[in-house]
Structure 1
Amino acid sequence: MFGYVAHRLISLALSLLAASIVVFAVIEVIPGDPASYMLGLNASDETVAALRETLGLSGGPIARYLHWLGGMLTGDFGTSYTYRVPVAQLVGDRLWVSLPLAVYALALSTLIALPIGALAAARRGRAVDYGIMGLTQIGVAVPNFWFAMLLVIAFSITWKVFPPGGFPGWDAGFLPGLRALTLPAVALALPQASILARVMRSALIETLHQDFIRTARAKGLSEGQAIRRHGMRNAMIPVLTIVGLQFSFLLAGTIIIEKVFFLPGLGLLIFQGITQRDLIVVESVVMLLVFAVILVTFMVDLAYALVDPRLRR
C-alpha cells in the first residue's frame, strides 16, 4: 500500500509541474498588455514601462515563471493588478462560495443518483428502468443554465421560496447562506445526477452478471440483499471515477451558474480577471483549480485501493 501511495504522489507532483508550465505558457500568449490596459490608450511609453516594472512584468518569461512558481510554493500568489490586494485574499473570499456550492451540489447529485441507478439496475428491462433512463436522458440533454432560469422562475418569482440570486455571506448565518446556494446547487446537481445514475446502472448490471452474485443468490440471498451486500461495492470503481470528475467540474466549471445567480465565486473571479487582463489572478486561480482536480484524482485513486484490495499490490 505504501508503494502504491508513493507512486501516486510522484505522479501528482509531476502532473502539477507540467500543468504549471502549460498554464503559464497559455496565459502568456493571451493578447493585450495588462499595463497598457490599466493606463488606457493615451498613456506614454515611459509610464507603461514604469507600471510594468511595478507589476513585475518587465523580466523574461522564464524568470517570471520561476518567480511565480516559487511564490506559489511558499503560499504567495502575488498581488492583483486590478484590485491591488493579495491574490490569496481574493481566492479565500471566493472559495467560501464555490467550495460549499460544489460540495452541496455533489452531495445532492450522489444522494439522487445512487438509489435510482441501483433501482434501474434491479428492475432492468421493466417499466421502472425505462422511466428512469428516460428522465436521466432529459437531465443530460437540458443545459444547466436553462434549468437554472426555470428554477428561478418557479421557486423565486412564482412561489418565493428561495432567493433569486446573490449571496449574503456566511456572516449572515448558515441557513441564509444555504438557502442562497440551494437553487444553484440543484441546477448543477440534476444534470450530474443523470450522468451518475446511468453509470451506476451500467456498472451494477455488469456486476450482477458475475459468478459471486450467482453464488450469493444460490445461498439464499434475495436480489436486493445480493445487490446491497456484494453488488454495490464491486460496482463503485467506475462510480468513484465519475464522482471525482464531477467534483472537479463543479468546483472549476460553475462560471455560468455563478453568472445566472450573481454568486461571487472562483468562476466569476476568473472571468473578471480575463476581461480586465489581470493575468496574475487568472494564472493563480487556474493553477489552484488544477491542483484541486489533480488532488481529487489522487484521492479517487486511494479510494480505488480501499474498494479493491487487488490494486494495493
Structure 2
Amino acid sequence: MVRYSLKRLLSLILSLAIASVVIFCVIEVAPGDPASFMLGINAQPDTVAALRAELGLDVPKWLRYLHWVGGMLQGDFGTSYTYHTPVSGMIADRLWVSLPLALYALAFSTLIAFPAGIYAAARRGKAGDMAVMGATQLGVAIPNFWFAMVMVLIFAINLRWFSAGGFAGWDKGFFAAMKSLTLPAISLGLPQAAILARVMRSALLDILGEDFMRTARAKGLTRRQALWRHGLRNAMIPVLTIIGLQFAFLMAGAIIIENVFYLPGLGRMVFQAISSRDLIVVESVVMLLVFAVILVNFLVDLAYAAVDPRLRSRT
C-alpha cells in the first residue's frame, strides 16, 4: 500500500508541474495587455510602461513563471492587478462559498444516485427500472443553468421559500448560509445524480452476472442479500471514478451557476478576473482548481486500493 501510494503521489506532483506550465503559457498568450486595459485606449505609452513595471509585467515571462510558482509554494499567490489586494486572501474568502457548495451538491447527488441506481439494478427490466432510467435520461439532458433558472422561478419567486440569489454569509449562522446554497446545490447536483445513478446501475448489473455472485446465491443468499453483501462493494470502483470527476466538475465548473445565483465564489471571481484581464488572479485560481482536481483523483486512486486489494498487489 505504501509503494502504491508513493507512485500515485509522484504522479500527482508531476501532473501539477505540467499543469502549471500549461496554465501559465495559455493565459500569457491570450490577447490583451492588463496595463493597457486598466488605463484605457487613450493612455500614454510612458504611463502604460510605468504601470507594467509596477505590476511586474516588464520582466521576462520565464522569470515571472518562476516567481509565480515559487510564491505559490510559500502560500503567496501574488497581488491582484485590479483590486491591489493579495490573491490568497481573495481566494480564501471565496473558497468558503465554492467548497461548501461543491460538497453540498456532491452529497445531494450521492444521496439520490445510490438508492436510485441500486433500486433500478435490483428491478432490472421492470417498471421501477424503466422509471428510474427515464428520470435519469431527463436529468442528463437538462442543462443545469436552465434548471437553475426554473428553480429560481418556482421556489424563489412563486413560493418564496428561498432567496433568488446572494449569499447570507457564515456569520449569519450555519442554517442561513446553507439555505442560501440549497438552490445552487440542487441545480448543480441533480444532473450529476442522474449520471451517477446510471453508472451505479450498470456497474451492479455487470457484477450480478459474475461467478462469485452465483456462488453466493447457491449458498442460500437471496438476490437482495447477495447484492448488498457482495455486489455493492465490487461495483464501487467505476462509481468512485465518477464521484471524483463530479467533485472536480462541481469545484471548477460552477461558474455559470454562481453567476445565476450571484454567489461570491471562485467561479464568479474567475469570470470577473477574465473580464478585467487580471491575469494573476486567473492563473492562481485555475491552478488551485487544477490542484483540487488532481488531489481528488489521487484520493480516488487510494480509495480504489482500499476497495479492491488486487490493485495493491499489482504494484
Cα shift at 1:303: 0.1
Mapping of 1:98-247 within 5 angstroms? 98-247=98-247
Q: Tell me, what secondary structure is at the counterpart of 2:161?
A: coil
Give the corresponding residue for 2:275.
Answer: 275
Q: What residue is the counterpart of 2:95 in the other structure?
A: 95
Match of 1:51 in 2: 51
Partner of 1:65: 65
> How many pairs were matched up?
313
- Is the deviation greater in 13-22 or in 221-230? 221-230
Provide the secondary structure at the position in 1 that maps to 2:30.
coil
Aligned counterparts of 2:117 and 2:105: Cα–Cα separation in 1: 18
Aligned counterparts of 2:72 and 2:190: Cα–Cα separation in 1: 35
SS of residue in 1 equivalent to 2:102: helix
Q: After TM superposition, give the deviation of residue 46 of structure 1 in Å.
A: 1.1
In 1, the alpha carbon distance for the partners of 2:81 and 2:57 equals 11
* Alpha-carbon offset, residue 203 of structure 1: 0.3
Q: CA deviation at 1:61?
A: 1.0
Deviation at 1:250, TM superposition (A): 0.2
**AA partner of residue 222 (structure 2):** S
Q: d(CA) in 1 for partners of 2:13 and 2:189?
A: 31
Once the two structures are superposed, residues 80-101 of structure 1 have per-residue CA deviations (whole angstroms, 9 ceiling, x without a partner) of: 0001000001100110000000
Q: Which consecutive aligned stretches of 4+ in structure 1 deviate over 3 angstroms post-superposition?
A: none
Distance 1:223 1:153 in 2: 44
1:32-66 per-residue CA deviation (whole Å, 9 max, x = no partner) reads 10011111112111111111111111111111111
* 1:82 counterpart SS class: coil
TM-score relative to the length of structure 2: 0.98
Identical-residue share of aligned pairs (%): 68
- In 2, distance between residues paired with 1:240 and 1:118? 15
- The residue aligned with 1:36 is 36
Equivalent AA in structure 2 for residue 39 of structure 1: L
The equivalent of 1:85 in structure 2 is 85
Report SS of the residue matched to 1:78: coil
Amino acid at match of 1:224: R
Alignment partners' CA distance in 1, 2:145 and 2:272: 19
Distance 1:36 1:131 in 2: 57
Q: Distance in 1 between matches of 2:157 and 2:69?
A: 47
Q: State the partner residue of 2:256.
A: 256
Question: For the residues of structure 2 that align with 1:290 and 1:126, how far apart are their CA atoms?
Answer: 42
Within 2, Cα distance between the matches of 1:63 and 1:101?
36
* 1:77 counterpart SS class: coil
Question: What one-letter code is carried by the residue in structure 1 that aligns with 2:124?
Answer: R
For residues 198-229 of structure 1, the C-alpha deviation after alignment (integer angstroms, 9 at most, x for no partner) is 00000000000011111111111111111111
Superposed CA offset, 1:217-265 (max 9, x none): 1111111111111100000000000000000000010011111111011
Unaligned runs of 5+ in 2: none
**Alpha-carbon distance in 2 for matches of 1:44, 1:152:** 47
How far apart, CA to CA, are the structure 2 residues paired with 1:204 and 1:94? 39
RMSD between aligned residues: 0.6
Mark the runs of 5 or more structure 1 residues left unpaired by the alignment: none
Give the residue type in structure 1 aligned to 2:215: T
